[in-house]
Amino acid sequence: MTVEQSPTETLQAPARDWFQRAVVYQIYPRSFADSNGDGVGDLRGIISKLDYLHKLGVDVVWLSPIYTSPQDDNGYDISDYRDVDPLFGTLEELRELTDGLHARGMKLVMDLVVNHTSDEHPWFIESRSSKDNPKRDWYWWRQPREPDAGASPRRGAEPNNWGSAFSGPAWEFDQATGEYYLHIFSKKQPDLNWENPEVRAAVYEMMNWWLDRGVDGFRMDVINFISKDTSLPDGPIADGKLFGDGTPFYIDGPRMHEFLQEMHREVFAGRTGELLTVGEMPGVTVEDAVLFTDPARAEVDMVFQFEHVALDQENGDKWRPKKLQLTELKETLGRWQEGLAETGWNSLYWGNHDQARAVSRFGDDSPQYRELSAKMLAGILHLHRGTPYVYQGEELGMTNMSFGAISDYRDIEVLNHHREATAHLGHTDAEVLAALAPLNRDNARTPVQWDASRHAGFTTGAPWIAVNPNANHINAAAQVDDPDSVYSFYRQVIALRHAEPVVSHGDFTMLLPDDPHVYAFTRALAGTTLLVLGNFSGTQQDVTLDGDALVDWGSAELVLGNYPADSGAPRLHLRPWELKVLRGGVARPDR
Ligand code: GLC
């Protein structure tokens, strides 16, 4: 080596580069493919679709939890971190899946749910057994407070006023020992106490066990909840709410960076393989994300931020949806691009198992524009700087589901909210159903639509949640070999990232921030500039670029577009929901 490099650079530069070029595909196993007819997707179902994923071109598969679980929150409540739930298969089948992915050049990222366990995990069973059990302090146990100690009269004796993310208080009283335990999510998901070093050691040991078995990294569930303000203060209570908002006190607590650095040291440091870590971090700010993802700090590779998926809600309340403004979407995503331009790295997503379907939310899922807008959204997202995530079915342009009665829903978040809103907040069933329709999580959890047969080819049995009736025309069988399909468009977008360093590594510059319909930006790297234009409307748009656009785009090459072969339409004119990616290079002579 002639150039002097610091040891960090030598070790980290090549390792980082791979995930900057990569595309991740998320599988929600319960809804992906069912091999045994019990109506629930399983590992063997996934194994049968590996060629489908390979053809799509994705580099990494993130598997939502398949561990042993009572399934209170569809597997995000784990009772054994080192085994596979029989609902999904066996450890041997997981090995087969890992090998099958590796053989096709893909990697496997596991979901790591360690802010909480299931209440049926042996750790919690021990912890609740007595006040002096050695594992008592592995969870957050607190005495009841006096019912009249300043709390609202509607409240009981919980240690503080925090509400659970799944409605009701964040505390559950345990008769056996007369104390409450904390659960930010359901009462079957008690929060682990990361202040206790034994908890941390047990988690790191488990993570090492999985990496030693050949998995390639972790998507870390609500990982910024693991450090809490240990004084557990009351949070503010908003109008019309029964419980306080504890989020300021359990998000990004004082030891957050310390815990992630320790995890990195204990689990990842010294491993030479290409591994991926992504922390799910509700409420994370861009300033903090720089710290979390700065490679020099050795915490995580990237985070999932939530700002752009809160713009269509009043005060971030998903049960009070409002119309999305494109200008706000651009401001938000642009700020994240800028914030992580020099240091750190972005993850890019429109949807996942907790969000509405991308095309229904950000595009137009009407028959006229569904395909065009799904393709446009793919192009816009994947051309940003960062690692894109595709949520199962997004590559088919799958849409939100129109559920009927509350009995059609399966998600604990929806069911608990409906109960609280109708029983305690005075809303009618019809009001609640209408409000929760656009953004509820079950929209994303209907089965993947493989073909037009009964139950969309997902199962031969009775599916655990209804299949979207539009499977008769929106399905994989109709799309995989059709060069004009949404699936084929995703293939092109993914291939473009792999082929063009400017897509993975170029600088990002947002254009036209105030335009209410057009999303426009450039990417630039070493003499190559791409102009990316997306029309977020069903009307024609003419794009006028100001002096910052250095290139004569009128004659630029069209690298990617979502309309049939360009018929000489002016380059800077966009048809409804049109996407154009133009390659420049020729600077205007007068500049
Ligand atoms: C994350 C998961 C979500 C789950 C919650 C509790 O937000 O993505 O599905 O309900 O954490 O584990």
Catalytic residue flag (residue 221): yes
3-state per-residue secondary structure call for 404-433: CCHHHCCCHHHHHHHHHHHHCCCCCHHHHH
Give the residue ranges of DSSP H helices in 49-159.
50-56, 91-103, 122-129
Which stretch of 173-177, 213-217, 457-461, 472-476 has the lowest confidence by average pLDDT? Answer: 173-177
pLDDT band at 179 (very low <50, low <70, confident <90, very high): very high
Asked if residue 265 has pLDDT above 50, the reply is: yes
Asked if residue 384 has pLDDT above 50, the reply is: yes
Residue 155 pLDDT: 61
Verify whether ligand 1 is closer than 6 Å to residue 76 (CB atom). yes
Residue 5 pLDDT: 39
For 205, the enclosing helix (H) or strand (E) is helix 197-212
Query: What does DSSP assign to residue 264?
Result: I
How many Å apart are CA 200 and CA 226, to the nearest integer? 10
Residue of 28, 76, 183 to test ligand 1 pocket, by largest number of atoms within 8 Å of CB: 76
- The torsion angle over the Cα atoms of residues 333, 334, 338 and 344, rounded to 10 degrees, is 20
- Give the CATH number of domain 8-117+197-231+245-405+474-487: 3.20.20.80
Residue of 188, 191, 222 to test ligand 1 pocket, by largest number of atoms within 8 Å of CB: 222
Query: Which residue among the candidates 59, 85, 191, 221 is catalytic per the annotation?
Result: 221
Asked if residue 591 has pLDDT above 80, the reply is: no
Given the candidates 1.20.970.10, 3.40.50.2300, 2.40.10.220, 2.60.40.1180, the CATH classification of the domain at 506-587 is 2.60.40.1180
Q: Return the SS3 of 322.
A: coil
Verify whether ligand 1 is closer than 6 Å to residue 412 (CB atom). no
3-state per-residue secondary structure call for 6-65: CHHHHHHHHHHHHHHCCCEEEECHHHCCCCCCCCCCCHHHHHCCHHHHHHHCCCEEEECC
Catalytic residue flag (residue 17): no
Domain ranges of the chain: 8-117+197-231+245-405+474-487, 118-191, 406-436, 506-587
Angle between helices 412-423 and 429-436 (to 10 degrees): 140
Chain segment 149-172, per-residue pLDDT in tens: 444 434 679 999 999 999 999 999
| Alpha carbon of residue 580 to chain centroid | 26
Per-chain mean pLDDT for the chain = 94
pLDDT band at 567 (very low <50, low <70, confident <90, very high): low
**218 contacts 277 by C-beta, under 8 angstroms:** yes
Residue 153's CB: how many other CB atoms inside 10 A? Answer: 6
pLDDT band at 52 (very low <50, low <70, confident <90, very high): very high
Residue 566 pLDDT: 65
Dist. CA 304 → ligand 1 center (Å): 12
Nearest CA to ligand 1 atom 12: 76
User: Which fold does the domain 118-191 belong to in CATH?
Assistant: Oligo-1,6-glucosidase; domain 2 (3.90.400)
- The torsion angle over the Cα atoms of residues 458, 462, 467 and 472, rounded to 10 degrees, is 70
DSSP bridge partners of 60: 24, 107
Residue 553 pLDDT: 85
Residue 106 pLDDT: 98
pLDDT band at 11 (very low <50, low <70, confident <90, very high): very low
| Alpha carbon of residue 422 to chain centroid | 29
Verify whether ligand 1 is closer than 6 Å to residue 191 (CB atom). no
